[in-house]
Amino acid sequence: MDYKITTYSEQETIELAQNIESEKFPNMVICLMGDLGTGKTVFTKGFAQALEVQEEVTSPTFNIIKEYTSGEMPLYHMDVYRLDGKVEDLGIEEYYTKKGITIIEWADMISDYLPEKRLDIRIRSSEEDEDKRIITITPHGSKYEELCEAIL
């Protein structure tokens, strides 16, 4: 089942991320999808803020993977846009079981490497309002379904 949410500002997108963070669990995987500028990194910053990450969270476009360990749990933030689907040698799948939370931007570009159980979040901009986002959340697996039921 898909859940659709509309946010009308960056702050509302951040609040959605913080609500999802409130139901976090070890080995959680969040897959963010959407065009450039739709708010994937904004979502991640909101999640990290709620997780009490002390470092400044920025897009890992050139690093591919950034690890933040100052929060309640480790946060592994990935941006796989530049990989062009070639992730075999990076060990991305190892992060799924490191007892932290993995957030992957542009996750649809590496769909063959995503875990079966995960939370997909697709963010779309609205044509009539530049601040409005249409967010579709798709849980894969019972833990993610329970998370959605708890917060949405």
Domain enclosing residue 121, as ranges: 3-151
pTM of the model: 0.95
What is the per-residue pLDDT for 82? Answer: 79
**What is d(CA 48, CA 40) in angstroms, rounded to the nearest whole number?**
12
3-state DSSP assignment of residue 63: coil
3-state DSSP assignment of residue 145: helix
**What is d(CA 32, CA 92) in angstroms, rounded to the nearest whole number?**
15
Q: Which tens digits make up the pLDDT trace of 68-114?
A: 999 999 999 999 987 766 677 778 899 999 999 999 999 999 998 99
Residue 66, judged by CB atoms within 10 A of its CB (0-12, 13-18, 19+), counts as middle
What is the per-residue pLDDT for 87? Answer: 73
Q: Which tens digits make up the pLDDT trace of 22-72?
A: 999 999 999 999 999 999 999 999 999 999 999 999 887 678 899 999 999
Number of structural domains in the chain: 1
What is the per-residue pLDDT for 62? Answer: 72
Task: Specify the CATH number for the domain of residue 60.
Answer: 3.40.50.300
Assess contact for 65 and 75: CB atoms under 8 A: no
Question: Tell me, what DSSP letter sits at residue 39?
Answer: S
3-state DSSP assignment of residue 77: strand
What is the per-residue pLDDT for 85? Answer: 62
